[in-house]
Amino acid sequence: PLQAQATVSGKLSGTRGQLQLADLAVNAASAQANLELTGEIGPLGEEVELGLVAKARVSDLAALGPVLGLPLDILHDISAEGTARVFGSIDEIGLDVNRGRLNGGGVSGRFTASLPSIGQVRRSSFSLDAKIDNIARFASWLHTNPDYHGHAGISLSLVGEPSGKLPFEVRAKAQSEAFSLLLNGQLDGLAKGAGFDFHGDFERVDTAQLSKLLGQKL
């Protein structure tokens, strides 16, 4: 489990039944992550509203795997940082990340995320643009030849449906020395073993390089 030390400060004002916590400042730090949270909460009560800004940095994304229940071991040594707006109520917290960055482990990129409710991930939307120095580090995910070393780039968009009952709509473009591929389709979820239905179109193929990437003759 993640363990952290935190400091909290703020100003409580208002009248009975209309209390508000303003100038809130939360700083939390652990070996894996740092979080700064500022803003206001109120009025306090059963229908408390959140108006917060969060700045966070995770030094190793693999550490989030056990917390999120996702298989993230392959993301070791990759850090992420971003700024997000936190809104909604205690019962339904929303999150908008508009300036996210990835770095380290031969990976660099930018991402955004919109989660109307962090407890209902299938309603969320994500986008990612990243460059990978060595595609071999993701060979176990991609089922490619781990001895093939080459750079790659990817643009990815996952769009959830407002009810959270339908699969993600997926659009992606991947480019490497071996190919340029456009991909679209549906993804049932983010957990390991989630079903999917993808359709791809190659814009460019280098047969010799693709053979090396796949580790088999074409």
> In this structure, what DSSP letter does residue 172 have?
E
In a domain, 102, yes or no: yes
In a domain, 40, yes or no: no
For position 194, what pLDDT does the model report? Answer: 82
Q: How far is CA 64 from the centre of its chain?
A: 11
For position 27, what pLDDT does the model report? Answer: 95
For position 121, what pLDDT does the model report? Answer: 86
User: Residues 7, 27: contact at Cβ < 8 Å?
Assistant: yes
User: Residues 74, 137: contact at Cβ < 8 Å?
Assistant: yes
In a domain, 142, yes or no: yes
In a domain, 21, yes or no: no
In a domain, 6, yes or no: no
| Type of residue found at 80 | A
Strands 168-176 and 179-187: antiparallel
For position 1, what pLDDT does the model report? Answer: 59
User: Residues 129, 155: contact at Cβ < 8 Å?
Assistant: yes
pLDDT truncated to tens, each residue of the chain (218 aa)? 567 789 999 998 887 778 888 999 999 998 889 999 999 998 877 778 899 999 999 999 998 888 777 788 999 999 999 999 999 988 889 999 988 999 999 999 999 999 998 888 889 999 999 999 999 999 998 899 999 999 999 999 999 988 888 899 999 999 999 999 999 999 988 777 788 899 999 888 999 999 999 998 87
For position 2, what pLDDT does the model report? Answer: 62
Question: What backbone phi and psi angles, to 5 degrees, belong to 70?
Answer: -120, 150
For position 156, what pLDDT does the model report? Answer: 96
- The domain of 148 spans 58-214
In a domain, 11, yes or no: no
For position 190, what pLDDT does the model report? Answer: 78
Structural domain count of the chain: 1
Residue among 18, 56, 25 at smallest CA distance from 40: 25
CB atoms within 10 A of CB 109: 19
In a domain, 36, yes or no: no
- Which pairs from 4-11 meet CB under 8 Å and 24+ separation? 4/28, 4/29, 4/30, 4/33, 4/35, 5/29, 5/30
For position 19, what pLDDT does the model report? Answer: 85
Question: Token pair for residue 50?
Answer: 């959140």
In a domain, 39, yes or no: no
Predicted model pTM: 0.82
